[in-house]
Amino acid sequence: MDTPNPNITDEAQTVRGKARYKSGVLEYRKMGYWEPDYEPKTTDVIALFRITPQDGVDPVEAAAAVAGESSTATWTVVWTDRLTACEKYRAKAYRVDPVPNAPGQYFAYIAYDLALFEPGSIANLTASIIGNVFGFKPLKALRLEDMRLPVAYVKTFDGPATGIVVERERLDKFGRPLLGATVKPKLGLSGRNYGRVVYEALKGGLDFTKDDENINSQPFMHWRDRFLYCMEAVNKAQAATGEVKGTYLNVTAGTMEDMYERAAFAHELGSSIIMIDLVIGYTAIQSMSKWARRHDMILHLHRAGHGTYTRHKTHGVSFRVISKWMRLAGVDHIHAGTVVGKLEGDPLTTRGFYDILREDYNETRYEHGIFFDQDWAGTRKVMPVASGGIHAGQMHQLLHHLGEDVVLQFGGGTIGHPQGIAAGAMANRVALEAMILARNEGRDYLAEGPQILNDAARHCLPLRQALDTWGEVSFNYASTDTPDFVPTAMPAY
């Protein structure tokens, strides 16, 4: 399948030899950053940008400028280029397509030689690809839509500390999504009160509870107090059910030293999982991944802050790219959208994120926002987490959209249950198991979902109450981050 719009076919205008290095300013397209005949090598990193040039700026020159500014170029010609194998180091814009139904926007494909990147460093990769160019004046806006990471580069990363399969083996939980809940209210509970929520939710039937992104160590609850009460709750719930339980202890802190101290205490107390926030930065995430691997811990990542740069279609970095970086960086869980909940999430775009996190090989699927084939070369899989405004009455839709390898997190949908937290947890677990049973029996569980839930509620009063409380709640707002390609409207080129 090809993109439905004709490419812009401007010829190369690269100036070569002595004239190329004459002091002064030369258009980027003439400096070797626009090479429409270039065939990307299998070892090249490829970035796809959505560029919105300023009025009057030629899209090819804009694409060449992005290639230049994200690799070797500066604003003027420098003779020191000639001391290097500069043609190899220049990123090459090799294709520019108009974005369908979006006047003034273009998709620019840019190839980078593998020699430009330090092995195993997201910080280095991103300092190149998104380091300088996003503030570049000739562009109104710029968005990194997707990347093709060559196997040669993928293999320089350790990937997830645990991965989906080993996580399931450690937890002894197979064949169904995992269930979680974020403790609410997210701020203000004392350690003792906080542990109560954890105990009730786990005893009631959830697999995990979770600290929220901004629970660190505040005056109302010191982190050590939280860890101690949470582990009392985990162990007590484990004994009450005979099932492995866990709680994501958020070790996010102001310094790496503090994070390591908190992680070490979680480990000492026997926790199976720790948690970090995306805002700690890529290097800190990679450090915590290596720590988690050394200590047999699952590493949960809350994508705190991502909406500032992933949501809008014309500027920023797509979450599909963040998903790729985080699989390389080595987290085991990442929040990736619910489709049906309270937060942004177009169904097809979200499917694209989930595929990136879980598949061995991503096929190009423009309608899911996937622009490249991506071979993960055996890199472990990341468990996506669906959290934010979901409830038991949506179980059939959640299973349909998100599949089986996912953590479904019902915070309000557990803790807000009219009969209490344990009842809320039980309602979610019964709804889930009933839906899995029906799916495996070959029933059309999406169409029959409400019936399956009502039937299950006959032997589970808490589920009946959950359906009566939230059955009709939905969040139907238009998404902003949607695919540009619609399969049914695609003409054959």
Partner 1 sequence: MRLTQGCFSFLPDLTDEQISRQIQYCLDKGWAVNLEYTDDPHPRNTYWEMWGLPMFDIRDAKAIMSELAECRRIHDDCYIRLSAFDATHTWESLRISFIVQRPRDEPGFMLTRAEAAGRTLRYETRAYVVQKPEGARYGNSG
Binding site for partner 1 (CB under 8 A): 165, 168-169, 172-176, 205, 228, 231-232, 235-236, 238-244, 268-270, 360, 378, 381, 426, 429-430, 433-434, 436-437, 440-442, 456, 459-460
Q: Which is nearer to partner 1, 302 or 391 (CB)?
A: 391
Minimum gap (Å) between residue 381 Cβ and partner 1: 7
**CB contact set of 119 (below 8 Å; sequence gap of 6+):** 153, 156
Minimum gap (Å) between residue 441 Cβ and partner 1: 5
Q: Which is nearer to partner 1, 111 or 234 (CB)?
A: 234
CA 134 – CA 128 distance, rounded (Å) = 11
CA 194 – CA 197 distance, rounded (Å) = 5
CA 323 – CA 329 distance, rounded (Å) = 10
CA 69 – CA 21 distance, rounded (Å) = 17
Q: Which is nearer to partner 1, 245 or 333 (CB)?
A: 245
Phi then psi dihedrals of residue 365, to 5 deg: -140, 90
Q: Which is nearer to partner 1, 193 or 479 (CB)?
A: 193
Phi then psi dihedrals of residue 265, to 5 deg: -65, -40
Q: Which is nearer to partner 1, 36 or 177 (CB)?
A: 177
- Of the candidates 164, 212, 167, 221, the one whose C-alpha atom is nearest the C-alpha of residue 190 is 221
Minimum gap (Å) between residue 343 Cβ and partner 1: 28
Tell me how many degrees the CA angle 457-350-474 measures, rounded to the nearest 5.
40
Cα 253 to chain centroid distance, Å, stands at: 21
Minimum gap (Å) between residue 240 Cβ and partner 1: 7
Residues catalogued as catalytic: 184, 302
Task: Give long-range contacts, CB 8 A cutoff, 24+ apart: 13-22.
Answer: 20/77, 21/77, 21/79, 21/81, 21/82, 22/77
Cβ pair 33, 103 in contact under 8 A: no
CA 75 – CA 133 distance, rounded (Å) = 12
Minimum gap (Å) between residue 421 Cβ and partner 1: 16
Cβ pair 365, 439 in contact under 8 A: no
Tell me how many degrees the CA angle 230-234-240 measures, rounded to the nearest 5.
140
- Tokens standing for 130? 């998104």
Q: Which is nearer to partner 1, 13 or 238 (CB)?
A: 238
CA 44 – CA 263 distance, rounded (Å) = 37
Q: Which is nearer to partner 1, 344 or 405 (CB)?
A: 405
Q: Which is nearer to partner 1, 214 or 238 (CB)?
A: 238
Can you tell me whether residue 201 is helix, strand or coil? helix
Residue with tokens 């840019």: 110
Q: Which is nearer to partner 1, 134 or 199 (CB)?
A: 199
Minimum gap (Å) between residue 375 Cβ and partner 1: 12
Minimum gap (Å) between residue 242 Cβ and partner 1: 4
**CB contact set of 160 (below 8 Å; sequence gap of 6+):** 289, 299, 327, 330, 331, 332, 379, 380, 381, 382
- Of the candidates 78, 66, 72, 64, the one whose C-alpha atom is nearest the C-alpha of residue 24 is 78
Minimum gap (Å) between residue 51 Cβ and partner 1: 36
CA 125 – CA 113 distance, rounded (Å) = 12
Minimum gap (Å) between residue 395 Cβ and partner 1: 13
Count of Cβ atoms closer than 10 Å to residue 443 Cβ: 15
